[in-house]
Structure 1
Amino acid sequence: MDAIAISLTLLLIVVLSGFVGRSLIRVPLPLVQIAFGAIAGLAPQLEIDLNPEVFFLLLVPPLLFIDGWRIPTDELVRDRWNILHMALGLVVATVVLVGAFIAWLVPGFPLGAALALAAALAPTDPIAVTSIARRVPIPRRVMNLLEAESLLNDATGLICLRFAVAFLLTGSFSALSASATFFWVAGAGLGVGFVITFAIVKAKTWIAARIGEDPGSQIVVSLLIPFVAYLLAEAVSASGLFAAVAAGVTMARAEATGAALGATRIQRSAVWDSVQFVANGIVFVLLGEQLPLILTKAQSTVADTGHHSLWWPLMLIVAIYAVMFALRLVWVWVSVIVSRRGAQRDTAREWRLIAATALAGSRGAITFAGILTLPVALSDGAPFVQRDLVILIAMGVIVLSLITAAIGLPLLLSSAAGLPPQDRSQERAARTAAATAALSEIARISALHIAPDTEADAYGAAASLVSKLYLQRLEALGRQTEGEATARPDTRVLREVQLAAVRAERKSVFLMRRQKSIGAITARRLVRELDLLEAHYEI
């Protein structure tokens, strides 16, 4: 089967698995996609010879970019120490401790291979947790921590994987040199991602201000940004992964200026939702598709270790996952103890959240993408005989972590009892301020048309009607006000006043976001509502 037919088949499988996972069975979507991929992998016509470099380039940068774009940056800053503690400290601890455990557990297993496996397993995947979160009430702050941790530990884990592979190939390792290299590739990667994205955003804004904004070209440019940032960073020996993350975060900051048209934001969001769905889906479908082949190849490696049953690697998978979960549980517990030192604590609820945070650290797309980059031969030309076993263990841990999260999280968070209620006061305040800004804009428009003529009467009626709607909204938000419409206004004038009011609201929301009086999630929700309302009025 040629590349085009395989690509179309993969897309079809992603769509079908998405339909089944969302509509017919209550199982996390990644598990459904893995199952569909495994079934498809049994067909010899769909045997796919993966090129790890192409696979990695096409799928990883856009996934990191969109995660960085959509992460709430104010929450990222607020919880920065907890996030760094999890995304850097836990990754390094996982590589060292779990890597040493794997080397001890499997006699004859090269230490470099054990460290590479641990590094590939270190990053967590929030997509699987998000699919579970639709059915259980994961607190917003915990979800933010999981998403931000995954955003950074993806890049950290994959850089550690590079070091582990270098150690596997050369047999030498310098902690000082590795640390210096890490800070260089990470810092330079972040810098490249920021500079490239900032320059592209400025150029787009300058062009749009002079010749107008075309949503289609804006969307295409946003699709190219992660690949440009990744490739340029790699060209200067920096981390393309951190560059993709930085590009996404920079795009999120640029959004706060409100420079793009509402129509562009609506279309771009839909396109990126599709890109994220397809990219993640293809990763999990390919994982399932490769599973039968890897099982077959791993049998010979298992036999070389003196075992003749696949129950042995299954026990390895369970043992490795158990150690990783225990390490994560202790790490989260210590992080909570340090961050809440001296504060009043609710022990029962706290332990539920600690256990849920530890269990939610399931592995997924980045682990699979990373493990496929392992070399097939060592530096002396000898084949890397444990490669298939390493990939099999990584796949097994991914599946096991998804299953335990799917079972355990609903049990831990089966009801909202004992969990803090979501605070909506910031959103109410933002809606009140936006509605007040809209009323001011309506009053300004009405004041521009005060001459006693037909058009003035139309603007007065439109202003009165639209003002009444906003006053009713303010009353519902807690401010007692009154307003009456005097007459049914002209449709064209009414639409003009409505659009002006919506744009004034949105301008107020962007201003509050830049002043940090509201959070990124609240601002994003309000801007999306206003963009859709604007699109409705423009029809």
Structure 2
Amino acid sequence: MDIVTNSLVLLAAVVLSAGLGRAPGLAMPRPLVQIALGAAIAAVAPLGFTLNPDVFFLLFLPPLLFLDGWRIPKAGLRRDRGTIVALAFGLVFFTVFGLGVFVHAILPAVPLSVAFALAAAVSPTDPVAVTAIAQRVPVPPRLLAILEGEALLNDASGLVAMRFAVAAAMTDPVSLSRAGLGFLWLVVGGLGIGFCLTWAVVGLKNQVSRRLGEEADAQILISLLLPFGAYLIADRIGASAILAAVAAGLAMSRAEQSGKALPLTRIRRAAVWTTIGFAANGVMFVLLGEQLPELVENASATMRSLDHRSPIWLLVYVIAIGIALTALRFLWVWASLRLVLFRARNGLGAAHVPGLRLVAATALAGVRGAVTLAGILTLPLSDATGAPFPGRNLVVLIAAGLILMSLIAASVGLPLLLRGLALPAAAEDEGEAAARLAAARDAIAAVIRTRDGHASVEGGPGFHTAAAEPVLSFYERRIAGLTAGIPGASDHVSRLEHAFWLAAIRAERRTIYECARAGRLSDSLARQMVRELDLVELRLADSDDLNRPGIAGGRLS
């Protein structure tokens, strides 16, 4: 019962943090509130959690990485792919090498391989923490998209690098050629498992749904099982389980744009996954706060056993390593933004270069969070000989301190740096009007095809023309700019008019998905527009008229 009670306490703290984070007088991002609540729990009634690294990794990372891959804006990835790749891969390896050497230099008692593991664990950034800060600070949309893209990819690269560092700490060093081949297999195998499993499961699911009908709850459960299945299969064959979970999310995003799921499934599934993401991230930050006192105590004991220094030096080391981490990121961001993002030339041939405020904001926005915590807590408890893993308590506390330091620095510094700062507009930010216009035209075409194709059914051509007229009028007014928003179908219209509304809504949805797949519309905006249409379709489906047999029951859809 203890594990059940403790889990309920953690979830209750996450719920409480949602209310406290919105309090008018509390200018703190939600992750900091959750850490504070965890520390309060530890002070009043410690939960006494013993975190098994393997179980912790399996429980939290697959769904979080899957959700990142599913919801990452693909248009942003394509547009700023050079900058994102430079940050997600180049910066990770630059950080692992530079920070690892720095940590070993100031803490010689920490083996170099363990220092590299710490650097790899703190190299991934956390989009959830940045988003929490962005709720209070107006982060430019394009900068936020770059940070989200970086966070998706560097989760995988950072954690894979950490696995290599841990393997080096546990065993004899391997040759560069073997390491290179191993890394290639990790990447190719992990991505292949994630994509292939998702496409196979989605394809089979669609076949079953086509023959037997779709059960929304079963579809949601399938999406919940997918990241764990991809993770476990990849782990079993020695590929990267982390990349498998990310690839499964990316494939799920693409499959979602096929539009084959029912509106009810999409709405319920989005709600379930939003709740899971909120709960998993929140629990991890509350756990961090709850574990802090024990981490400080264990790290202090390690400090005394290593070099007999006062525990106050722990704070000095965290600050020094945090400054070094930010400096490395600043240097890399300055170089990558200068060489990639602003290389586009204007008509006069003058190249735009980033200002120091933009570089500093991008560097400071690299907040560490849930993935860093999950990664560092997966360090083994013992090495290959059964002895305690060297410096584990110390590096876990340093990683926790760096999470706190990055959150506080971003909360204080970003409002100052981002005031009045703007990036070049994103192309898809201007695509909503064009997408809605194209969707309206396709809706009109679908209504006309439906009207002409069924003019001989129930009432003749005049009856169908009259029923289609309100639908056609709405979309014609939208094209003319006289009305906007979602279809205004009423619950008190005829069955036949409902059928025309359904035909128009489904045509709109297909067009929106086509625009998203072509990169003319951002994924987040397309998801929002499809949700609007799904809600209207559900309202139509719930109408009493649609419960009676006839054209609106499905023959026209």
Q: Verify same fold: TM over 0.5.
A: yes
Superposition map of 1:294-443 within 5 A: 294-339=295-340, 340-341=342-343, 343=345, 344-345=350-351, 350-384=355-389, 386-415=391-420, 418-420=422-424, 424-443=429-448
Paired residue total: 530
The alignment partner of 1:476 has SS state of coil
Aligned to 1:268: 269
- Which has the higher mean CA deviation after the structures are superposed, 234-243 or 152-161? 152-161
Instruction: Look up the equivalent residue of 2:538 and give its one-letter code.
Output: A
Q: Distance in 1 between matches of 2:458 and 2:235?
A: 66
Q: Distance in 2 between matches of 1:82 and 1:419?
A: 14
Q: Take 1:167 and 1:514, find their aligned partners in 2: how far apart are those partners? A: 42
CA RMSD of aligned residues (A): 2.4
2:502 is aligned to 499
> Does structure 1 conserve the Cα–Cα contact (< 8 Å) formed by 2:92 and 2:157?
yes
CA distance in 2, matches of 1:107, 1:30: 32
The question of whether the paired residues in 2 share the 8 Å contact of 1:301 and 1:385 is answered with: no
2:68 aligns with 67
Contact 1:117/1:394 (<8 A) preserved: yes
Which whole-Å CA distance do the structure 1 matches of 2:475 and 2:241 have between them?
A: 48
Q: Is the 8 A contact 2:230 2:244 kept in 1?
A: yes
Structural mapping, 1:59-458, within 5 Å: 59-339=60-340, 340-341=342-343, 343=345, 344-345=350-351, 350-384=355-389, 386-415=391-420, 418-420=422-424, 424-448=429-453, 450=455
State whether residues 509 and 523 of structure 1, in contact with CA within 8 Å, keep that contact through their aligned partners in structure 2: yes
Distance, in Å, in 2 between the alignment partners of 1:452 and 1:121 is: 66
1:448-527 correspondence runs (5 A)? 448=453, 450=455, 459-476=464-481, 490-527=493-530
Shift of 1:219: 0.3
Deviation at 1:437, TM superposition (A): 1.1
- Do the aligned residues in 1 keep the contact of 2:300 with 2:314 (CA within 8 Å)? no
CA deviation digits over 1:355-394, x for unaligned, max 9? 2211111111111111112122232333235211111101
Q: Percent identity?
A: 47
Aligned to 2:537: 534
| Change in CA separation of 1:478 and 1:3 when aligned onto 2, cut-off 3 Å | closer
Unaligned segments of structure 1, at least 5 residues? 480-487
Tell me the CA shift for residue 511 of structure 1. Answer: 2.9
1:18 corresponding residue in structure 2: 18
Does the CA contact (< 8 Å) of 1:459 and 1:489 recur in 2? no
C-alpha distance 522-383 of structure 1, shift in aligned 2 (>3 A): closer
Q: Which moves more between the two structures, 364-373 or 463-472?
A: 463-472
Query: Over residues 328-355 of structure 1, what are the superposed CA-to-partner deviations in whole Å (9 max), with x where a residue is unaligned?
Result: 11111111121133624555x6433222
**Structure 1 359/396 Cα, relative in aligned 2: closer, same or farther at 3 Å?**
same
Give the superposition deviation at 1:446.
3.1
- What SS is found at the alignment partner of 2:431? helix
Query: Contact 1:434 / 1:506 at 8 angstroms: preserved in 2?
Result: yes
1:44 CA drift (Å): 4.1
Q: Could you tell me whether the CA contact under 8 Å between 1:442 and 1:497 is conserved in 2?
A: yes
Q: Deviations over 1:180-233 (max 9, x none)?
A: 211111111101111111100100111111111111000000000000000000
Query: Which amino acid letter does the alignment assign opposite residue 290 of structure 1?
Result: Q
- For 1:241 and 1:89, the matched residues in 2 are separated by 18
Cα pair 1:257 1:514 within 8 Å, conserved: no
Distance 1:452 1:465 in 2: 19
- Contact kept? 1:139, 1:420, Cα under 8 Å: no
The alpha-carbon deviation at position 80 of structure 1 amounts to 2.7
Match of 1:482 in 2: none
The alpha-carbon deviation at position 422 of structure 1 amounts to 6.0
Name 1:485's counterpart in structure 2. Answer: none
- Any runs of at least 4 consecutive aligned residues in structure 1 with deviations exceeding 6 A, and if so which? none
Shift of 1:310: 3.0
Spell out, residue by residue over 1:395-418, the C-alpha distance to the aligned partner (whole angstroms, 9 max, x if none). Answer: 000000011111111111134x64
User: 1:282/1:453 Cα in 2 relative to 1: closer, same or farther (>3 Å)?
Assistant: closer
CA drift of 1:248 comes to 0.5
Closer, same or farther: CA 418–68 of 1 in aligned 2, 3 Å: closer
- CA distance in 1 between counterparts of 2:258 and 2:457 reads 39
Contact 1:295 1:392 in 2 (8 A): yes
Alignment match, 2:548 = none
Moved more, 246-255 or 39-48: 39-48
- TM-score (normalised: structure 2): 0.90
Q: Which amino acid aligns with 1:341?
A: R
Aligned match of 1:40: 41
| CA deviation after TM superposition for structure 1 residue 18, in Å | 1.6
For residues 74 and 241 of structure 1, the distance between their equivalents in structure 2, rounded to whole angstroms, comes to: 23
Q: For the residues of structure 2 that align with 1:275 and 1:342, how far apart are their CA atoms?
A: 40
Query: Is the CA contact (8 Å cut-off) linking 1:65 and 1:247 kept in structure 2?
Result: yes
CA contact (8 A) 1:458 1:493 kept: no
In structure 2, runs of 5+ residues without a counterpart are: 485-490, 543-557
